[in-house]
Amino acid sequence: MGPAALHDLTAVIVTYNSAGTIGELLDSLDAGTVRPRIIVVDNGSSDDTVAVARSRAGITVIDTGANLGYSGGINVGLRVTPASHDVLILNPDLAVTATTVERMRRALDTPGVGIVAPLLLDPNGGVRFDSLRREPSILGALGDAIFGNRWAARPAWFAETLRRDSDYAEPRDVAWAGGAALLIAAACRARVGGWDADTYFLYSEETDYARRARDAGFRVRFDPRAQAHHVGSGSGQPAALVALISVNRVRYFRARHSALATAAFRSAIAVQHLLRLHDARHRHSLRTLLDGRRWSALPAGDRMPPGVAPHTIRTTEPTW
């Protein structure tokens, strides 16, 4: 007997040239103790991602024909998801364990919880000590810029990223967690609305969404009993994306703080690149970060006109 289907849970997977990884994720979802309904939103892949997804029964595949970014792709999936459904946001380069979805769903039943994040593991099974975060701050950004993943036990006020073993050992509330795997309650979706695709093509979109969820009265809950292996992009990101990470951090901070505080925050992030000028990507990122005129040239992706549906929606068998 296969896994039990959850009729009020939808997984939205946003893909972009993900043919080499999407199959493993779909296999792992199929092998779970419970199975969500699955929507794959493809952001204009040039490889066989769409064909791989369409080869699986019971999956809704949406070929947008454009690169809408992570937030934009999520929003496309949400538009065809019933409002009563909890939504599981997944990167295509993940593989979940058999009980991941079930455990995340149980954690979502905790009073006040609107978002649940699992423990992310690297391909070798080691804990990724970079998925849990505090609310961005000037001193936290400076501490991460100077020390990175060193001195994991530094004071909490001097680190945005949680890096201690104890931080990942037990269930806990966090300010936000990386967007590779997030389960969002239907009630939270209804209150918070869509993801901010206009501001965040990539990066900081999950920071913004979690903040809006907390402002709406919901908790963000981490539960290490739910686990997923995440390949991630590692250190191979191109210079433009390295710069975009920093710029979007400033955009997020600027929306919630004064101009003076934002200048200090941007300076703290600049330290990260100053200390790594041997790397051409960081030299590029520093120039971009400090010159706002360069921001408009950063990757921003395509935009679909309002009211225009993705050009192809195909379901290999009925899922609703």
**CATH second-level architecture of 4-134+162-232+303-315?**
Alpha-Beta Complex (3.90)
CA distance 130 to 52: 30
pTM over 0.85: yes
User: Above 50 in pLDDT, residue 74?
Assistant: yes
Pairwise CA distance, residues 242 & 203, whole Å = 10
pLDDT on residue 304: 55
- How many angstroms separate the CA atoms of 253 and 179, rounded? 18
| Cα–Cα dist 4/96, whole Å | 16
CA 132, CA 162: separation in Å to the nearest integer?
6
Indicate whether 216 pLDDT > 60.
yes
Asked whether residue 299 carries a pLDDT value surpassing 90, the answer given is no
* pLDDT tens readout for residues 12-27: 999 999 999 999 999 9
| Mean local confidence (pLDDT), 310-320 | 50
Decide: 59 and 29 in contact? Cβ < 8 Å.
no
Work out the average pLDDT over 25-48: 95
Q: Looking at the predicted structure, is the pLDDT value of residue 123 above 90?
A: no
Report the mean per-residue pLDDT for the chain.
91
